[in-house]
Amino acid sequence: MTTKTALVTGASSGIGESTARKLQSLGFTVYGAARRTDRLQKLAAEGIRPLGMDVTDEQSMKDGVAKIIAETGRIDVLVNNAGYGSYGAIEDVPIDEGRRQFEVNVFGAMALVQLVVPHMREQKSGTIVNITSMGGKIYTPLGGWYHGTKFALEALSDCLRLELAPFGVDVVVIEPGGIATEWGGIAADHLDESSKGSAYKRQADAVAKSLRSEANANRNSPPSVISDAIGKAVTAGRPKTRYAVGFGAKPLIAAGNILSDRQFDALITRATGVPRD
């Protein structure tokens, strides 16, 4: 049997690193991609193929996909995991930073889709896994730019699923809840930077405290819950269209569906500790 090939972006830590290992354990030839290949050396030592790739650099992505095809002749799974959280009031975050948030979280993912889909269509098989977030279905204070990217990725994934169904290619959305990764600290750092001297400073301090909270960190799920879901999706004959997994994902998405906007506003404001006056 032909060994299947997978590309995982953002593989240097957290969900991406765990997913690369999971797919390798399932028998895939795995390429772990990241901007800094020095952070991929642990995976390389385990037989996962390191790939230098910047999802904001078109040539970097073209070269990476070309390398995979040259070496294996195929690509069966794309896991679009690379991304970060740029938090701050919509008024405060510079437009260039908002644009970069979309470049990394949305346009980079879709550029890779455009590069791998021709090969998947030719094979008449393949799975594209887009990592969105429960933040693609709900919203939090000062997370507008980040949530905007995840809402966009949800919609793009739905359209893509319809487009690729006739060619035997599956599109799966993974919606993580709270996961024990570097993400919260990075988002809090962005928030601190964007809110210096801001009218939103009190809100920002509360949200940053929530993002860094040890209590929240202790409740967060390990990255393996996400990689296990991805493993199930890419080996299923007919995968689900969405997998909401990790701390808080299912109940918060359900609350967003059930509650009115004002009720959810009150819930999420209390949960993040944002002052109401």
Classify the C-alpha dihedral 273-264-82-6 as positive or negative.
positive
Q: Amino acid identity, residue 93? A: V
State the Cα–Cα distance between residues 196 and 259, nearest whole angstrom.
34
User: Which of the residues 31, 87, 146, 243 is marked catalytic?
Assistant: 146
Instruction: Give 194's contacts (C-beta < 8 A, 6+ positions apart).
Output: 86, 87, 88, 89, 92, 93, 97, 204
- Closest Cα to residue 223, out of 25, 42, 18? 18
Instruction: Name every residue whose Cβ is closer than 8 Å to that of residue 206 and which is 6 or more positions away in sequence.
Output: 141, 272, 273, 274, 275
Active site residue 31: no
Instruction: Give which of 176, 157, 178, 173 is closest to 226, Cα–Cα.
Output: 176
Radius of gyration (C-alpha) of the chain in whole angstroms: 19
Residue 80 pairs in a beta bridge with: 130
Separation between Cα atoms, residue 66 and residue 72, nearest integer Å: 10
Show which residues are catalytic.
146
